[in-house]
Amino acid sequence: MAVLPSEPGPIGIFDSGYGGLTILHGIRQLLPQYDYLYLGDNARAPYGTRSFDVVYEFTRQAVTRLFEMGCHLVILGCNTASAKALRTIQENDLPNLDPNRRVLGIIRPTAEVIGQLTHSRHVGIFATEGTIKSESYNLEIHKLFPDIQVSGVACPFWVPLVEYNEADSPGADYFVKKRIDQLMRLDPDIDTIILGCTHYPLLLPKIHKYTPRGIRIVSQGEYVAGALQRYFVHHPAIEERCTKGGHVHYLTTENPEKFKESAQIFLHEPVEVDNITLA
Ligand code: DGL
């Protein structure tokens, strides 16, 4: 078993790149008192088209590193990692790494709120190819709300649009409209659409522009934050091991200067970033 720091530490938030910043933002709105350590594997993003084995291996490396850096709780702020790696890490890796630490995903908290949000009981999902193919959203929603019809569309170009800072460019309109039209053709009764990829809230202005009026667009940040707050109430031993200084530190596997520049788009504040290598 690895020797990990035992003293309390920050909450780890992991994503393939910048997308998890939308989750971090939502969590900090509700829980600003905690310390956070954000890790973006920008050098190896996107994850959305990668195989199960590769996403699992990259995510396992990231979680292990965040544990080594003092986190007792790591949130996979990435739907692709939550869909493809979470369960294996919880079941196979945690018992060896440290059975007292926790790794949580973001699909379940999103599925939990959907029942209250849809009236037509027809829900759409936009996500990466990996998340759509895993059927994780369908499975989680159906466990809780068997009556809801779920239709999903993969949006392979949306993550690069965000990662390359093109979310507001005129070129993005074509790719956004194309997928919205595809989803609405699949099921015209949809009244609620989940942005099942943490990068997609950055495309919200364009998504609103092309989505038929009256359809609710659900971004995950606030719901993940609410779920975490409830989790802490039920798991005080984990909560006690999360430090409270209101500080955030960022790590990237890419160039820190590049990360700093792009992170501003998400966070609108200066950030401290270090480079790390995952292996
Ligand atoms: N932001 C990640 C998600 O929520 C995936 C982006 C990627 O393809 O790396 O699925």
pLDDT tens figures, 10-43: 999 999 999 999 999 999 999 999 999 999 999 9
Q: What is the reported pLDDT for 264?
A: 81
Query: pLDDT band at residue 1, thresholds of 50, 70 and 90?
Result: low
pLDDT at 263 over 60: yes
What's the average model confidence in pLDDT over 60-65? 98
What whole-number distance in Å separates Cα of residue 269 and Cα of residue 263? 8
Instruction: Report the pLDDT value the prediction gives residue 146, as an integer from 0 to 100.
Output: 98
Q: How far is the CA of 1 from the centre of ligand 1 (A)?
A: 30
DSSP letters, 134-193, are HTHHHHHHHHH-TT-EEEEEE-TTHHHHHHTT-TTSHHHHHHHHHHHHHHHHH-TT--EE
- Across the range 245-260, mean pLDDT stands at 95
- What are the structure tokens assigned to 142, written together? 């159906």
Question: Tokens 């195989």 belong to which residue?
Answer: 51
Q: Is 197 a catalytic site residue?
A: yes
Residue 46: is the preceding peptide bond cis (ω within 30°)?
A: yes
Per-residue pLDDT band for 99 (boundaries 50, 70, 90) equals very high
Q: Residue 163: its pLDDT value, please? A: 81
**90-119 average pLDDT score:** 96
Q: Could you read off the pLDDT of 152-199 as tens digits, one per residue?
A: 999 999 999 988 889 999 999 999 999 999 999 999 999 999 999 999
Any atom of ligand 1 within 6 Å of the Cβ of 195: no
Closest residue CA from atom 8 of ligand 1: 48
The whole-angstrom separation of Cα 161 and Cα 176 is 10
Q: pLDDT of 187-244, one tens digit each?
A: 999 999 999 999 999 999 999 999 999 999 999 999 999 999 999 999 999 999 999 9
**Predicted pLDDT of residue 261:** 86
In the chain, residues under CATH classification 3.40.50.1860 are 11-105+222-275, 107-219
Best of 58, 133, 198, 200 for a ligand 1 pocket test (most atoms within 8 Å of beta carbon): 198
Q: Is the CB of 45 under 6 A from ligand 1?
A: yes
Tell me how far the alpha carbon of residue 199 lies from the centroid of ligand 1, in angstroms: 6
How confident is the prediction for the chain on average, in pLDDT?
A: 95
Tell me the per-residue pLDDT of 65-84, one tens digit each, with 9 for 90 and over. 999 999 999 999 999 999 99
Fold that domain 11-105+222-275 belongs to in CATH: Rossmann fold (3.40.50)
From the CB of 159, is ligand 1 less than 6 Å away?
yes
155 has catalytic annotation: no
Chain CA centroid to CA 118, Å: 22
Does the domain at 107-219 match CATH 3.10.290.10? Answer given as no
Per annotation, catalytic residue among 71, 78, 155, 242? 78
Amino acid at 248: V
Q: Report the percentage of the chain scoring pLDDT > 70.
A: 99
| Residue 111 reports pLDDT greater than 80 | yes
Contact 200, 126 (CB under 8 A): yes
The predicted-structure confidence for 40-58, as pLDDT tens digits, reads as follows 999 999 999 999 999 999 9
Instruction: Give the closest residue to 240 by CA, choosing from 69, 3, 6, 63.
Output: 6
Per-residue pLDDT, averaged over 124-133, amounts to: 96
**pTM score of the predicted model:** 0.94
Both tokens assigned to 131: 């998340």
